[in-house]
Structure 1
Amino acid sequence: MRTIVVGSRQSALALTQTGQVIDDLKKLCQEHGFEFEFEVKKIVTKGDRILDVTLSKVGGKGLFVKEIEQAMLAGEIDMAVHSMKDMPSILPDGLTNGAVPRRVDPRDCLITLDGKGIDDLPQGARVGTSSLRRSSQLKAYRPDLELEPVRGNIDSRLKKLETEGFQAILLAAAGLYRMGWEDRITSYIPADICLPAVGQGALGIECREDDEELLKLLALYNDKESEMAVAAERRFLGVLNGGCQVPIGAHAILVKAPEEHTLAGQNVIQLTGMVGSPEGDVILKETLLGLDPVKLGEEVAGKLIERGAEKILEQVKEID
């Protein structure tokens, strides 16, 4: 019996997600005859240690995964469960993403104490968010709102809604679902108002690329539709070389191509990508259909680059 050591951040959400994945993998082991046991090893990441400044000032993607990946490469752990939106678009040599389980709701959501939705918030309402992507798009939709940074885990951010005078906070719906706190959601923010982060709502199961035994199990856990959608989004992000510190959003779904499209009637990936300025005065969006997720991600990124996306991203980096 082999023991698979699973690295996890110490937050309640990370441990909950890891526990849920381990439960699913144990069932697959029983069904398919894998002789694995699972053990969790907690790891503190840079993103967990630095809580007094916004994510955009700390650094880019990798804040919540780097130490975990180092432990995997050193053989201290065998796999890790990541929120896909925390994963850099390029993984270190020797590591691979073994599975993308079925994605849950990728939308952002609004939590308020009085039940007001985004259109009902009073003029100048204080709204907490740790994300430049969210604040950029919300400023474009409601320029009157006061968007202010709020860091910490989901629980502490929910408490800050009550203790620090916010009228609302913005969070990823997926985290609340996984914690069993979906009843706290006041309303969902439609994707046409606020495109989610790349990979939001999806998990990535990372392991060493030479661990053939574990990869066979993870292949059974992979959800092909979720994998294709996330691959398109991540390639889009990779071309733009974006991270947590820039306002980039993307959302891919599988649809049937309309009659007027060259791929009419086929099942295709629909990818919408967004690049915005920090103040929300410029929001660039593009939607394309395609069969190859990697090529589609490159095409949508290319369209936005043609419209000036790189200039916006350079300006954001200069501000940082």
Structure 2
Amino acid sequence: MTTSTVTATLRLGTRGSELARTQSQAVADAITAATGAPVELVPIVTEGDRSPAAIAQLGGTGVFVAAIRRALLEGTVDLAVHSYKDLPTAAEPGLTIAAVPRREDPRDALVARDGLTLGELPPGSKVGTGAPRRVAQLRALGLGLDVVPIRGNVDTRMGRVRGVGEPGDLDAVVLARAGLTRLGRLGAITETLDPLQVLPAPAQGALAVECRTGDARTRELIGRLEDASARACVAAERSTLAALEAGCSAPVAAYAEVAEGEHGPELFLRASVTAIDGSDAVRGSVSGPLADAAALGRALADELLDRGAAELMAVRS
């Protein structure tokens, strides 16, 4: 691709965590490589960063993005990079997702003491995670694990595992493999969890690059990072989440993949809703053209609702 002569610096708003800065820098570097436009990172502190409370107590979806979106709308920054799963499903007036870059592996990963896999952890083992979806699915496996809620960045969480961060108070933690990949921590993984066991969160592993709707120049520059398959998968997964009227604090999982079908590329979507105590779950799947991604997600959500998903989301631990 021909490098443009654009030289005005783009201001990229980002959270201050190591993972957020790493993700944002990767996007900044990609924009510069594709367009020639320099990009500077602008750290922004969000409500989710300030509070030690659980995400669900803070109001769930949006606590990590509201301050950044406010800065975008006010013109303090020109673009932002979000972990797509952190975004509310409703569109933000005045802003647009100008690109969904190539997605990292969306599966969950286990970091456990002594190199153990999930099935090798003895009953009663303490496993930490910050996601109700993971809590519900881990409990549903019936392994007798003591699943406990945790907060903190990737290294803080891994540091609580005995033998990884001495002395440690946990036997294992479950994290997004994508974050470990971006931080260069793949060596800490003792098992990448099969989606048949633990289905990922909607949009896990995907990034959303956002800017003001009316900023045509920035939209064009960002748009060069677009990955059509990643966009379609995320659209399907998030439309399932939206149709279930659930957010990131709900025990909803969805995972879409693109595979070659009889008439070209086809999207295959799986989703589940699991009671937080692990007592029951509903699962389903659907497939169809990439162009129908959002409709496929809604159709699958309707099926899950018909089979009792709303009642399962209402179960309390």
The TM-score by the shorter chain falls in which range? over 0.9
For the pair 1:204 / 2:208, whether they are aligned, the reply is yes
Which residues in structure 2 correspond to 1:211-290 (within 5 Å)? 211-257=215-261, 264-290=262-288
Structure 1 segment 84-233 matched on structure 2, within 5 A: 84-161=84-161, 162=165, 163-233=167-237
CA distance in 1, matches of 2:213, 2:238: 19
The structure 1 segments of at least 4 consecutive aligned residues displaced by more than 3 Å after TM superposition are: none
Partner residue of 1:33? none
2:29 is the alignment partner of 1:13: no
Candidates 4, 8, 28, aligned match of 1:2: 8
Q: How far is 1:143 from its partner? A: 4.4
The Cα shift of 1:201 comes to 0.6
Q: Match for residue 42 of structure 1?
A: 43
| Offset, 1:300 | 0.6
Name 2:4's counterpart in structure 1.
Answer: none
Contact 1:139 1:280 in 2 (8 A): yes
Q: How many residue pairs are counted as aligned between the two chains? A: 305
* 8 A contact 2:281–2:312 mirrored in 1: no
CA distance in structure 1 between the aligned counterparts of 2:126 and 2:38, rounded to whole angstroms: 47
- TM-score with structure 2 setting the length: 0.93
How far apart, CA to CA, are the structure 1 residues paired with 2:178 and 2:265? 26
Maintained 8 Å contact 1:125/1:146: yes
CA distance in 1, matches of 2:205, 2:260: 22
Is the CA contact (8 Å cut-off) linking 1:95 and 1:209 kept in structure 2?
Answer: yes
Once the two structures are superposed, the pairs formed by residues 70-89 of structure 1 within 5 Å of their partners are 70-89=70-89
For the 8 Å contact 1:112–1:186, the answer to whether it is kept is yes
Q: CA deviation at 1:147?
A: 0.2
Paired with 1:303 and 1:200, the residues of 2 have a C-alpha distance of 22
Residues 57 and 245 in structure 1, CA contact (< 8 A), matched pair in contact too = no
Give ranges in structure 1 of 5+ residues lacking alignment. 31-35, 258-263
Secondary structure of the 1:114 match is helix
- Matches of 1:251 and 1:19, distance apart in 2: 26
1:113 CA drift (Å): 2.2
Instruction: Give the corresponding residue for 1:261.
Output: none
- AA matched with 2:16: Q
**1:197 Cα deviation after fit:** 0.6
Q: CA RMSD in A?
A: 1.3
TM-score (norm 1): 0.92
Q: Work out the CA distance in 2 between the residues paired with 1:305 and 1:82.
A: 29
Q: Which amino acid aligns with 1:46?
A: E
Give the superposition deviation at 1:55.
1.8
Q: Which runs of 5+ in 2 are unaligned?
A: 1-6
Note the alpha carbon deviations across 1:185-239, whole angstroms, 9 max, x for none: 1111100111101100110001111111111112211001111101111111111
Q: How far off its partner does 1:166 sit?
A: 0.7
